[in-house]
Structure 1
Amino acid sequence: MPADLAHIRQVMAEADCIYTEAEVEASICQVADAINSQLADSNPVVFCVMNGGLIFSGKLVPKLNFPLELSYLHATRYRNQTSGGELFWKAKPEISFIDRDVLIIDDILDEGHTLGAIIDFCHHAGARAVHTAVLIDKDHDRKARPELKADFVGLPCVDRYIFGYGMDYKGYWRNAPGIYAIKGM
């Protein structure tokens, strides 16, 4: 069923800007600095989690000033919905990371189901160490694994439904130039 584009446009028109483009860009630079200082000598395999991590990865990876191998994986619980379900693998990693450091780049650490499953997958597949970088860490007490923390975090975020910089609303507005919260959500 095609999207109601009038509704999609209205969502953006009414949204609250949580972080401006300048604030997001500054946070990406800070994340890059932290990764550069901690992983420069580790020869990591870097995975972008599609689709959400695409914009964050695209802005972050060129700021990493050390050799790395880059690939992607695609695991989702949302499938263009506003609430998550069972983990679904669309594309598993194709680069071997046996006895290698792995850096997973994703858009958001919300409840942590998807990121936790990806971390587990990497450990079971032989990664020496698994590091995570997220643009947004949502602040709430619904974490699937309360001990799960991202190693590198761009920005904290209030517990609202957000979109922009890779995060979507029903498949739209990943391209929004900032982080926005849906009115009333």
Structure 2
Amino acid sequence: MQIEDKKFELYLSEERIQESIKEVANRINEDYKGEKIIFVGVLNGAFMFAADLMKNIALDCEISFVKVSSYKGTSSTGQVHELIGLSTDIKDKHVVILEDIVDSGLTLSKLYSMIDHNSPTSVEVATLLYKPDAFKGKYPPKYVGIEIPNKFIVGYGLDYLEQGRNTRDIYQITE
């Protein structure tokens, strides 16, 4: 697959992605049995993960979204900007942040500071993809679909220059 000036090859199939989402949902369903939780999806990348995860959640729950940005092209800018903030009341509630991918942990740190000052009962992170070799934050995700190496990927909500989000599979950069 070609997007702009970069070439990508198939890395994770739709079947593998969906299988891992069901596993994450099963763990969340078990851990929060009898509890009401609020999912907070991180736009734009996590919209597909959030939608497919919610189809497998068997709990009383709500979902809300925030939008933050830290990437330009294929690398992090080192700064996280809040573009759309949290508008849902999360005081004394269990919150699960939904991320498409966790790499450096910079975005998670920003999200924790956004959410924590609203006094939730608990805050955890569920992510489709996790790059443990790139992680430098203090809040690792509790629910991880697939651990991957520190390579740039696109598809299934993840983008390169805002393109490629609409694929069912995930592709890895080849150059």
- What is the TM-score when the length of structure 1 is the normalising length? 0.87
Residue identity opposite 1:143 in structure 2: F
* Residue 82 of structure 2 is aligned to residue 89 of structure 1: yes
Which of residues 3, 7, 28 in structure 2 aligns to 1:8?
3
| Aligned match of 2:122 | 129
Distance 1:170 1:41 in 2: 41
Q: Quote the offset at 1:9 in angstroms.
A: 6.1
How far apart are 1:10 and its partner, in Å?
Answer: 6.7
Q: Give 1:120 deviation, angstroms.
A: 2.4
Asked whether 1:31 is paired with 2:24, we answer yes
Whether 2:63 is the aligned partner of 1:63: answer no
What is the alpha-carbon distance in structure 1 between the residues aligned to residue 2 and residue 26 of structure 2?
39
Find the aligned partners of 1:149 and 1:37 in 2 and give their Cα distance: 20
Q: Paired residue for 2:110, among 109, 114, 117?
A: 117
Residue ranges of structure 1 left out of the alignment (5+ in a row): 1-5
1:159 aligns with 150
Structure 1 residue 7, shift from structure 2 partner: 5.7
Greater displacement, 88-97 / 114-123: 114-123
Gaps of 5+ in 2: none
1:181 aligns with 2:168: no
CA contact (8 A) 2:105 2:136 kept: yes
Asked if 1:75 corresponds to 2:107, the answer is no
Kindly indicate whether residue 37 of structure 2 is the aligned counterpart of residue 44 of structure 1.
Answer: yes
Q: Measure the CA separation in 2 of the matches of 1:34 and 1:42.
A: 14
Name the TM-score, length of structure 2 as normaliser.
0.92
1:55 CA displacement = 0.4
Runs of 4+ aligned residues of structure 1 deviating over 3 Å after TM superposition are none
Instruction: Give the equivalent residue in structure 2 for 1:3.
Output: none
More helix by percentage: 1
- Alpha-carbon distance in 2 for matches of 1:77, 1:153: 21
> Tell me, what secondary structure is at the counterpart of 1:52?
coil
2:160 corresponds to: 169
Could you tell me how far apart the structure 1 residues matched to 2:57 and 2:102 are?
Answer: 21
What residue identity is the alignment partner of 1:136?
A: L
Taking the aligned partners of 1:43 and 1:90, their CA distance within structure 2 comes to 27
> Structure 1's 7 and 64: CA in aligned 2 closer, same or farther, altered over 3 A?
closer
Q: Per residue, is there more strand in 1 or in 2? A: 2
The percentage of aligned residue pairs carrying the same residue is: 26
Q: CA RMSD in A?
A: 1.7
